[in-house]
Amino acid sequence: MRKTKTTPARRLLLDRYGRVADGIALLFFPYVEIVIHDLQSQTVAYIANNLSKRELGDESALEEIDHSAQSGTIGPYEKINWDGRRMRCVSTVLFDDAGAAVGVMCVNYNIAVFEDMKHVIDRVVSGAGLVKQPEELFKDDWQERINTFLHAWLQERQLALNSLTREHRRELVEALWEEGAFKGKSAANYVANVLGMGRATVYQHIRDLRGAAA
């Protein structure tokens, strides 16, 4: 660690913003690093949850940052960490009581771990070597046919299964009847379970539909 001169501006950075940095790092541990740069000395003044392997007193190389930016915030932007992983970052200019820019707080978010999770999830969801369902095995899969029709019906009407009214459920049972969904054994019981209806209610709807068709 390099020794740096303690100045009033540096003390302000550490006293006023060091605890803020610690709080953010603790809340998002272990994925977020906070680095406070001293603009006067152009060195690193404070690091919370060190992910970048920098040291206090290292050169900041922030000369080109527009410290007069009215918003005082730069980013979010991305950079590559020492291990080759991507980090998403936001830098905020820190001012003293006189309104002069004295420091920059950089919040560096390690998003690589979430990208790894996404890759794993994508592989699980996409599967490996998926083939079409064997028709000879699933030709009588009435449950899947009901599911396919049911969710197409819901999507067409922009409805959610858990928000159907009694009238919606009646209409859906009628639509399933017209589709021939109740030809399968136990299909009525299955529809009752899926729609959250009483079995007796579904059977009564079926009887009414049969009577109307007779």
| CATH code assigned at 46 | 3.30.450.20
Q: Check whether residue 188 and residue 103 sit in a common domain.
A: no
Work out the percent of the chain whose per-residue pLDDT is above 70. Answer: 85
The predicted-structure confidence for 53-83, as pLDDT tens digits, reads as follows 888 888 887 655 554 455 578 889 988 888 8
Q: Check whether residue 62 and residue 96 sit in a common domain.
A: yes
Final residue in a domain of this structure, among 48, 81, 116: 116
**For position 136, what pLDDT does the model report?**
46
Q: Does the residue 24 lie in any domain?
A: yes
Final residue in a domain of this structure, among 71, 88, 116: 116
The predicted-structure confidence for 191-206, as pLDDT tens digits, reads as follows 888 888 888 998 888 8
* Geometric angle at alpha carbon 77, from 74 and 81, rounded to 5°: 120
Q: How confident is the model at residue 25 (pLDDT cuts 50, 70, 90)?
A: very high
Q: Which residue has the higher pLDDT, 132 or 5?
A: 5
| Predicted confidence (pLDDT) at residue 29 exceeds the cutoff of 60 | yes
Q: Check whether residue 112 and residue 149 sit in a common domain.
A: no
Can you tell me the mean pLDDT for 146-151?
87
Residue written as tokens 């541990």? Answer: 29
The predicted-structure confidence for 129-139, as pLDDT tens digits, reads as follows 655 554 443 44
Q: Does the residue 106 lie in any domain?
A: yes
Q: Does the residue 1 lie in any domain?
A: no
**For position 140, what pLDDT does the model report?**
53
Domain span at 16: 8-116
The predicted-structure confidence for 44-53, as pLDDT tens digits, reads as follows 899 999 998 8
Final residue in a domain of this structure, among 73, 88, 116: 116
User: Hey, what are 162's tokens?
Assistant: 């858990």
Q: Check whether residue 99 and residue 138 sit in a common domain.
A: no
- 105 strand-pairing partners: 36, 92
Domain count, the chain: 2
Q: Check whether residue 89 and residue 163 sit in a common domain.
A: no
159 Rama sector, left if φ>0, alpha if ψ -120 to 50, beta otherwise: beta
Q: Check whether residue 25 and residue 103 sit in a common domain.
A: yes
The mean predicted confidence, pLDDT, of the chain is: 82
Can you tell me the mean pLDDT for 158-172?
89
Residue 184's CB is within 10 A of a number of other CB atoms, namely 16
Give the C-alpha distances (Å, rounded to integers) separating 4 from 40, 56, 70, 95. 11, 9, 29, 20
Q: Check whether residue 12 and residue 79 sit in a common domain.
A: yes
Q: Check whether residue 102 and residue 171 sit in a common domain.
A: no
| Predicted confidence (pLDDT) at residue 143 exceeds the cutoff of 60 | yes
Q: Check whether residue 193 and residue 154 sit in a common domain.
A: yes
Can you tell me the mean pLDDT for 76-104?
87
Q: Check whether residue 99 and residue 147 sit in a common domain.
A: no
Q: Does the residue 23 lie in any domain?
A: yes
**For position 139, what pLDDT does the model report?**
47
The predicted-structure confidence for 106-125, as pLDDT tens digits, reads as follows 999 998 888 888 877 877 77
